Each structure stands twice: as C-alpha cells, then as structure tokens.
Structure 1
Amino acid sequence: MAKQARAIQTRRVILEAAGAVFDEFGYESATIAEILSRAGVTKGALYFHFASKEELARGVLGEALTTEGVLPQESKLQEWVDVGMVLAHRLPAEPLLSASIRLSADRKARDLFGTSWTGWIDYIAGLLVAAKEQGELLPHVDPHQAATLFVSSWTGVEIVATSLENDQTLEARIAVLYDYFLPSVAVPGALRRLDTAPDRGGRVWQAHHEHYGQERAAEPDGVLSSRA
C-alpha cells in the first residue's frame, strides 16, 4: 500500500513538473532533461510512468478536465459560473492547469494528441442542458453551441490576459465575461440570482475545502475520502 502511494505521488510530481515546463517553454521547446530537473526524479522513474514527452503531454491534458472545488448548486447556471470562476481562481497558481491551455492552443501539439477543449465543452453543455430543463435558459439557446462559444471565449480571455500588463486579475476578467455572456442565454429571473463577483471562485474554493475537511473529520479513523 505504501509503495503504491509513493508511485502515485511520484507520478504526480512528474506531471506537475512537466506542466510547469510545458507552460513556460511550450511543447516543442520543452525537454525531458528540464522536466527531470524540476521533478527531482531519476530518468528511470520518469520513464516508468511516461514513455515519452508526448505521453507526458497527454498526462497533463488528462489532468485538465477537473471540476475540483465546485460544489453542486440548485441553479445549474450558478454551477456553470462556479466552474469558470474556480478555474480562474486556481489557474494562476497551478501550472498543470495553465499548461493544458497552452498545449491545447499549440497547433503542433494539438495535431499530436488533441486538446482538453472537447471535454470542457461537453461538461458545460451538460450543465446548460440541465439549466434548460429547469427553465433557466432562454428558449432559443442551444446548450452545445453556447458551451463551445463560452469555452472559446474563456480560453481567449486567459491567453490575452497573460500578455497584458495591468493589475486586473484573471478572476476579474472572467467575471466580466460572464456578465456579458449571461444576459444572452439566461432568463431574467435566473439571471438576477446569479453571483458573478470576481471573488466568487475563491469563496467557492474555500467552501469546498471546508466542506470536505469537515467530512473527513467525521469519518472513522483510518478511512480517507477520495472526493476532494
């Protein structure tokens, strides 16, 4: 059991190092040597988990579709807002997430192993389908088209934000994106109840950890939850 836990931890360390290197240098310029240096592991340990740089990139993309930090909401529109805002809160401090965007935007890398966008589009479309069933969406809205446009817009905002030199955070920019986007898809009654404040992602992220921290504390000794 301890050996398995160490292997899982080593794999995670390698992925995080790879994410940081891909995020900094891009796929083509990233090297195994630099990833090894960042991870602090042997070449044998890296190749035990990942056979090539391409497999490492696939592993990074596999970590990209994460809704960790988002708690279920009665309003599926609010849950959609929370997905985008929590990601905006986490991404600047998590190179593994940031690297998935850079890899997805790299045409050469995209031709090799695809992108994380399809998964995000499908997930958000599912939330929008549920929102429409609850009467939160305007009748003309196509959930998949809206999800595709939103993921494109979110990605564009993040990419442009990294090249602009000012003090506006990614969270503030994504909050503005929602404020422009939501009136075109949400019924007025649902729109009025939505929280799109720039600090929404941070508050939801904290609530998530408090919620699962309390659940862990209530579990019997020796029993660990895997939900967080």
Structure 2
Amino acid sequence: MRNSRRIGALVAMASAAVGMATVTATAPASAAPVRGPQPVSTWLSAVRANADSWVKINWRTDRAVCNVEVRVSGGRDVDVDYPGRKRFTSFTRGDILRPGRTDFTAFEVNPDYDRAGVARLRATISYDLCGRRDRTQYKSFALALPVLRNVGHQGGPVRPGNDGRPGNDGRPGNDGRPGNNDGRPNGNNDGRPNGGHSWPSSPRPSMSSSAPATR
C-alpha cells in the first residue's frame, strides 16, 4: 500500500510539472507584443560640425500605421529643423507605412561641436493603427549621429572655391585657388601670387654697360 501511494504521488507530481511547463511555454506565444514602427538602424549618417546637413531615419513596421509624425530632439548641442518649416517630419510618400515596406523621414541638423564625436538624438514617432477610432500612440528611440570635425570652419559655413577647395574664408581667388583671409589672392588682378611685390611688366635694364664710363 505504501509503495502504491508513493507511486501515485510521483505520478501526480510529474503531471503537474508537465502542465506547468506547457503553460509557461505557450504563454509568451499567445501574448506577443505589438512592435509597430521601428528604425531600421539607430545609427545615422555622419555630418560635419557647425554646418547644416540633411539626415534621414529609415523606418519599417510589422503592421500598418497612419498619421505618422516624427519629432527629433538634439538637446543644446544639435539644432534641428524640418522640411517646409514644420514642427515635425513624416515619410516621403505620405504619413502611412505598411508592413513589408520601408520609408524614411528627413530632417536638418547643425551640430555645435568643436571636435569629432557622436551626438545623441531622440526621435519620437506618433501614429495610429489606421482605424477610425484608434488612439494615437507614441514611441521614442535613441539615435547616434556621428559628427566629423569641420577643419574649414572659421565662424561660418564653408563655401568651396572654383576648384572645389575652400579658401580661408571660403571665397576663391581670381585663379580659382583659395586666397587670403579676405578671399583675394596674393598677386595682381591676374591672380598670380608675388609674395608681396608686384610683377614687373618688362625686364629691368642691366646695370653693366659696354661703353666706357665718363668722368
């Protein structure tokens, strides 16, 4: 009798353990979370410091989302602007994104950096699930913006010269090469440098003469 009771108790305990394992294994599958829109990558393309640059966030989703608006915060170190002087940005093909498709949102940044680094941005996306009475949902994502040192920056945006190389102030010389701090070359109006002296228009006369000197 004692052996039968022990065997019965062991069978009951084994059955209960199997039941608990089944419940534990099936619970997460039945309660899969809704992902919605997500950035394809949280790393953005690199930009120059102290210069206006357009960047974009690529998005994907596992379900249709509508009325999408994206706002980006760069804190005190990065100025952010949106296309059309709006207070937000949206997809290039409208404010709807469907599963299996990707689209991007573009915005303009100007990092106030004096050296290379990585700026931390935060993008907040608002959307609904395309129903008439769907409530607006919000998600926030941390983004990384690589910032390159702008070696040509001297208090203003860099403007290239005629040959594509910036001058000291960003303005080209007459020959297309970068000039002085005021953008003018070191030479005459023909753009040729002379090291601070004017180019002679004709060769100088020789100081020696074949005729004898007169007293």
TM-score (norm 2): 0.24
**Which one scores higher on RCO, CA 8 angstroms, separation ≥ 6?**
1
- Would you tell me which structure has more helix in proportion to its own residues? 1
Q: Pick the structure with greater CA Rg.
A: 2
- Would you tell me which structure has more strand in proportion to its own residues? 2
